[in-house]
């Protein structure tokens, strides 16, 4: 009985020993992978922190899985990111920010996938972790927010209790499900604007731990006027006593990222900016270059600069002045300078899986915030110099591959591009062992590819997809495995020779649908021309003689007119194929053609 009494009294003793009262708000549901966003303003008191994080409730430290955004009150220009894995192994990164996070609200986000964890500030990715430890972050985690004073003064600073109470404010939370290849890989599950305490979604914590000098209590998690307020208080004065909540934009916009993308410079600002100032070329100074034109994109926070020819060996800086945000205060940049990162130059050929570049192709990388391109997922497979691939014009491109890759990402200016994929089957000696789809910008462009079925093993198979539209300064390719693992040996990117979204100079609108493919037989390229009498959802499909769909080109809504493009069929097997034109899901034209080797 004495032992039972001690067990019952232990939490009460712990409660009494904690000098402060904090708060934690946590979901009832757990999540495995996803995107988690919060708009928040942190508390400005040294010796404590405000947080937004995911956490797996553990039975032992060997199960530890946690992903953090922690904002220490002692710093007015820094945020801490961290992943914690088995054995309480920390992977900490300190991110400097050009604003005071305690002064006004900012949007923060965590992206968690099997291949990486990334952190965003004001909708711009600022840091990414990859590496072996990411694969150990697979346990279901709850989403949490809390405010508490760490016992470690060397980390959090010294808490002056005369500065209490302290408050962290949360305006909204969004949770997205991880949906690779759809909705830019993340689909919104729900958003909470904190208009009321949703007891089917959230709970208020009542616990503590060693190293936390506060006890969490329900009274210190307050919902008021559409905000969640987490309070750090003395035990004798709990709850929110702060009066009206001030949600005003007092931070001037800043350039979050600057890239040379082909022959242009793309500037990503932290928030929406006013068009007139943004499109005034004289507001941008780049020593060594002339700014010819400035254009603000429809998102109202991305500016594209046209400049004079640059020296690729020089590191340039852009200086922005007189740029104002769209808030009532019209906060204005005074003078800001940022280095411009070198992006890609087209045409671009990437030898996937290879760390060595050459005069004709580029080495491959793992994608991160500092890379203009790279892969997510996959293992490098290197073949000996003696390996030969039937039909290959350059065996070197096929002597390395990325096997099991999930995504490939390339930063590009908005526009239309031609993509050429170089495939070879080097692992299997039978059909059906490896089959996968390829998506570009959430659109399926290659369906059910079985390389062995097409050309056998150790043979080159090339697929070219024209007129792929990029609308967010980044090409996103998703390789979806259907059997085995997806693989790719090389990727070529060039500007489209023609654009299916632009009508040709033909002055007339056709009276009826028509489709022409030539030459027939075709090799290595097939020319396409089709006519549409009206606008509508349009699709071009290709089928082999067995009726299996080989390729789908989904182009969205097209206006009535005449369109032309071309397709590389040099990697297709010899035989009879059918090109089908559909509009509004109804076949309007078809034509047979032959591919000859």
Question: What is the enclosing helix (H) or strand (E) of 259?
Answer: strand 255-261
* Owning domain of residue 287: 255-342
Q: What is the pLDDT of residue 59?
A: 86
Among candidate residues 24, 37, 66, 376, the one labeled active-site is 66
- pTM listed for this prediction: 0.80
**Any idea what the CATH number is for the domain that residue 141 is in?**
2.60.120.200
Asked whether the bond before 347 is cis by omega within 30 degrees of 0, the reply is: yes
Write out the DSSP string of 196-262: S--TTTEEE-----TTB-EEE-GGGEEEETTEEEEEEB-TTS-S----S------SPP-EEEEEEET
Do residues 480 and 576 share a domain?
no
User: 240: exposed, middle or buried (C-beta count within 10 Å: 0-12, 13-18, 19+)?
Assistant: buried
At 280 the pLDDT is: 96
pLDDT of 79 strictly over 80: yes
Does 303 lie in the same domain as 438? no
User: Is 60 exceeded by the pLDDT of residue 508?
Assistant: no
Q: Would residue 504 count as lying in a domain?
A: no
Mean pLDDT, residues 79-94 taken together: 97
Query: What is the total count of domains within the chain?
Result: 4
Q: What is the CATH number of the domain that holds 480?
A: 2.60.120.430
Contact 151, 42 (CB under 8 A): no
Distances in whole angstroms, Cα of residue 210 to Cα of each of 81, 387, 409, 459: 21, 59, 43, 61
User: Cα–Cα distance between 412 and 117 in angstroms, integer?
Assistant: 23
Is 529 among the domain residues? yes
In a domain, 326, yes or no: yes
Residue 512 has pLDDT above 90, yes or no: no
Q: Note whether 416 and 533 are same-domain residues.
A: no
- Residues 172 and 214 grouped into a single domain: yes
Lowest-pLDDT choice from 43-47, 80-84, 296-300 = 296-300
- If asked whether residues 448 and 533 sit together in one domain, one would say no
Q: What is the CATH number of the domain that holds 306?
A: 2.60.40.1220
Give the integer Cα–Cα distance in Å for 441 and 414. Answer: 12
Segment holding 6, helix H or strand E:
helix 2-17
Distance CA 301, CA 580 (A): 40
The answer to the question of residue 7 being in a domain is no
Report whether pLDDT(505) > 70.
no
Of residues 32 and 518, the one with the higher pLDDT is 32
pLDDT at 157: 97
**What pLDDT shows up at residue 1?**
29
User: Do 192 and 91 sit in the same domain of this protein?
Assistant: yes
Mark whether 265 and 198 lie in a shared domain: no
Cα–Cα dist 354/547, whole Å: 37
Asked whether residue 1 is assigned to any structural domain, the reply reads no
Region of 122 on the Ramachandran plot (φ > 0 left; ψ -120 to 50 alpha; else beta): left
Q: Is residue 509 part of a domain?
A: no
Read off the pLDDT of each residue in 79-98 and give the average, rounded to a whole number. 96
Lowest model confidence (mean pLDDT) among 255-269, 470-484, 496-510: 496-510
Of 232, 263, 290, which residue sits at a domain end?
Answer: 232
Q: Which of 164, 179, 200 is nearest to 113 (CA)?
A: 179
Find the mean pLDDT for residues 543-557.
80
Q: What is the CATH number of the domain that holds 522?
A: 2.60.40.2550
- The rounded distance, in Å, linking the Cα atoms of 573 and 56 is 50
Predicted confidence band of residue 502 (pLDDT cuts 50, 70, 90): very low
For residue 443, with 0-12 CB atoms within 10 Å meaning exposed, 13-18 middle and 19 or more buried, which class applies? middle
Q: Which of 2-16, 106-120, 299-313 has the lowest mean pLDDT?
A: 2-16
- Residue that terminates a domain, selected from 279, 314, 342: 342
Using the predicted structure, report yes or no on whether residue 211 has a pLDDT greater than 90. yes
Q: What is the CA radius of gyration of the chain?
A: 28
Return the pLDDT at 200: 97
Residue 4 parent element (H or E): helix 2-17
Shared domain check, 413 and 525: no
Residue of higher predicted confidence among 93 and 12: 93
For 305-317, give one letter per residue: b (16+ CB within 10 A) or e.
Answer: bebeebeeeeebe
CB-side neighbour CA atoms (13 Å) of 193: 3
Parallel, antiparallel or unpaired: strands 141-148 and 49-55:
antiparallel
6 in any annotated domain? no
To the query of whether residue 70 is one of the catalytic residues in this protein, the response is yes
* 316 and 270 housed in the same domain: yes
User: Do residue 543 and residue 432 come from a single domain?
Assistant: no
What 221-226 contacts at long range (C-beta under 8 Å, 24+ apart), as own/partner pairs, is: 221/23, 221/24, 221/25, 223/194, 223/195, 223/196, 223/197, 226/171, 226/193, 226/194, 226/195
Catalytic residue among 24, 29, 37, 70: 70
- Residue 532: pLDDT band with limits 50, 70, 90: confident
Catalytic site includes residue 502? no
Q: What beta strand segments (E) does 32-88 contain?
A: 34-41, 49-55, 66-72, 78-85
Which of 453, 413, 456, 459 lies closest to 436, judged by CA? 453
Question: 353 and 332, same structural domain?
Answer: no
Place of tokens 């007139």: 276
Q: pLDDT band at residue 22, thresholds of 50, 70 and 90?
A: very high
Task: Output the 3-class SS for 359-377.
Answer: CCCECCCECCCCCCEEEEC
- Confidence band, pLDDT 50/70/90 cuts, at residue 350: very high
Tell which of 318, 342, 366 closes a domain. Answer: 342
User: Any alpha helices (H) in 424-501, and if so which ranges?
Assistant: 451-455
The pLDDT, as a whole number, for residue 298 is: 87
Same domain, 100 and 149: yes
Pairwise CA distance, residues 168 & 71, whole Å: 10
Per-residue tokens: 248: 């005003």
Answer whether residue 214 is part of any domain.
yes
Query: Is the predicted pLDDT of residue 80 greater than 90, yes or no?
Result: yes
pLDDT for residue 308: 93
């Amino acid at each position: 009985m004495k032992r039972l009494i001690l067990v019952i009294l232990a939490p009460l003793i712990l409660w009494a020993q904690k000098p402060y009262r904090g708060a934690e708000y946590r979901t009832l549901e757990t999540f495995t992978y996803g995107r988690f966003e919060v708009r928040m303003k942190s508390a400005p008191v040294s010796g404590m922190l405000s947080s937004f994080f995911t956490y797996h409730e553990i039975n032992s430290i060997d199960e530890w899985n946690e992903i953090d955004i922690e904002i220490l009150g002692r710093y007015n220009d820094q945020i801490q990111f961290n992943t914690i894995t088995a054995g309480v192994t920390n992977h900490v990164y300190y991110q400097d920010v050009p604003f005071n996070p305690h002064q006004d609200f900012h949007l923060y986000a965590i992206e968690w996938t099997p291949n990486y964890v990334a952190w965003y500030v004001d909708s711009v990715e600022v840091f990414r972790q990859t590496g072996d430890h990411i694969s150990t972050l697979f346990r279901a985690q709850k989403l949490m927010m809390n405010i508490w004073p760490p016992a470690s003064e060397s980390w959090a600073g010294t808490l002056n209790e005369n500065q209490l109470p302290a408050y962290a404010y949360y305006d909204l939370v969004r949770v997205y499900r991880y949906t690779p290849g759809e909705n830019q890989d993340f689909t919104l599950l729900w958003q909470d604007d904190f208009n009321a305490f949703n007891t089917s979604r959230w709970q208020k914590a009542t616990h503590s731990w060693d190293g936390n000098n506060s006890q969490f209590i329900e009274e210190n998690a307050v919902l008021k006027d559409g905000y969640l307020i987490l309070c750090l208080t003395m035990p004798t004065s709990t709850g929110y006593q702060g009066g009206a909540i001030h949600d005003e934009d007092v931070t001037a916009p800043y350039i979050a990222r600057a890239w040379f993308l082909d022959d242009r410079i793309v500037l990503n600002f932290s928030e929406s900016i006013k068009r007139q100032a943004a499109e005034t070329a004289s507001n941008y100074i780049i020593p060594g270059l002339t700014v010819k034109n400035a254009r603000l994109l429809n998102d109202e926070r991305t500016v594209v600069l046209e400049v004079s020819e640059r020296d690729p060996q020089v590191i340039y800086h852009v200086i922005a002045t007189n740029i104002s945000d769209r808030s009532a205060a019209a906060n204005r940049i005074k003078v800001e300078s940022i280095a411009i990162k070198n992006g890609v130059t087209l045409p671009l050929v990437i030898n996937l899986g290879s760390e060595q570049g050459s005069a004709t192709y580029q080495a491959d990388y793992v994608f991160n915030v500092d890379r203009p391109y790279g892969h997510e997922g996959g293992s490098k497979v290197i073949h000996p110099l003696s390996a030969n691939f039937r039909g290959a014009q350059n065996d070197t491109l096929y002597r390395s591959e990325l096997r099991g890759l999930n995504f490939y990402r390339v930063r590009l200016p908005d526009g239309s591009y031609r993509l050429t994929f170089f495939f070879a089957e080097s692992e299997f000696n039978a059909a059906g062992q490896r089959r996968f789809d390829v998506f570009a910008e959430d659109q399926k462009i290659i369906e059910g590819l079985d390389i062995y079925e097409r050309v056998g093993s150790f043979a080159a198979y090339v697929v070219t997809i024209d007129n792929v539209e990029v609308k967010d300064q980044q090409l996103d390719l998703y390789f979806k495995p259907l059997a085995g693992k997806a693989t790719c040996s090389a990727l070529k990117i060039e500007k489209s020779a023609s654009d299916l979204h632009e009508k040709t100079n033909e002055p007339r609108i056709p009276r009826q649908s028509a489709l022409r493919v030539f030459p027939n037989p075709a090799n290595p390229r097939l020319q396409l021309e089709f006519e549409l009498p009206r606008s509508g959802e349009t699709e071009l499909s290709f089928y082999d003689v067995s009726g299996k769909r080989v390729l789908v080109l989904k182009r969205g809504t097209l206006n009535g007119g005449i369109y032309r493009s071309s397709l590389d069929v040099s990697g297709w097997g010899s035989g009879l194929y059918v090109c089908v034109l559909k509009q509004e899901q109804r076949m309007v034209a078809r034509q047979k053609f032959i591919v000859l080797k």
